[in-house]
Amino acid sequence: MDHSHPVKVTDHFRVSPPLGSVPTTSLPLTFFDYPWLLCRPMERLFFYELPYPALYLTHTIVPSLKNSLSLTLQHFFPLASNLMCPPSPHKPYMLFKDGDSIPFTVVESTLDFDQVIGDQARDVRELLCFVPKWPPTRVTSDDTRVVPLLALQVAVFPNSGICIGAKFCHVVADGTAFNHFMKSWASIFRSREDIACLEKSMLPSHDRSGIKDPLELESIFTKQWWNWASSWDYDLGSTRDDQLGDKVGVTFTISQTLIERLKDLVSNRCMENYQEQVNVSTFVVACAFTWVNLIKSQEKEASDLFDSDEVYHFVFVADCRHRLETKLPETYFGNCLAICFVPVKKRELHGEHGIIIAAKAIGGKVKELERGVLLGAEKWISSWKEISEQGRLVTVAGSPKLRAYETDFGWGRPRKTEIPHVHASGSFHLCESRDGRGGVEIGLTISKGQMDVFHGIFEQGKQNLI
Q: What is the DSSP letter of 198?
A: S
Q: How many residues does the chain have?
A: 466
Instruction: Please list the active-site residues.
Output: 170, 408
Say how far apart CA 421 and CA 271 lie, in whole Å.
Answer: 38
Contacts of 466 (CB under 8 A, 6+ apart): 258, 261
Q: At what angle do helices 354-368 and 282-298 cross, to 10 degrees?
A: 130
Enumerate long-range contacts of 222-231, CB under 8 Å, 24 or more apart. 222/34, 222/91, 224/34, 224/381, 224/382, 225/34, 225/37, 225/38, 225/92, 226/88, 226/89, 228/38, 229/85, 229/88
Nearest to 149 by CA among 129, 124, 169: 169
Say how far apart CA 99 and CA 437 lie, in whole Å.
Answer: 43
Helix (H, G, I), strand (E, B) or coil at 308: coil
Q: What is the DSSP letter of 438?
A: S
Burial class (CB in 10 A: 0-12, 13-18, 19+), 209: exposed
The DSSP H or E segment spanning 114 is helix 113-116
Say how far apart CA 162 and CA 57 lie, in whole Å.
Answer: 8
Say how far apart CA 322 and CA 176 lie, in whole Å.
Answer: 12
SS3 content of the chain, % helix, strand, coil (to 5): 40, 25, 35
Q: What are phi and psi of 409, to 5 degrees?
A: -85, 10
Burial class (CB in 10 A: 0-12, 13-18, 19+), 52: middle
Q: What are phi and psi of 339, to 5 degrees?
A: -100, 125
Burial class (CB in 10 A: 0-12, 13-18, 19+), 301: exposed
Say how far apart CA 41 and CA 151 lie, in whole Å.
Answer: 10
CB 404 within 8 A of CB 380: no
Buried-state track 60-70, b at ≥16 Cβ within 10 A, e below 16: ebbeebbbbbb
CB 169 within 8 A of CB 236: yes
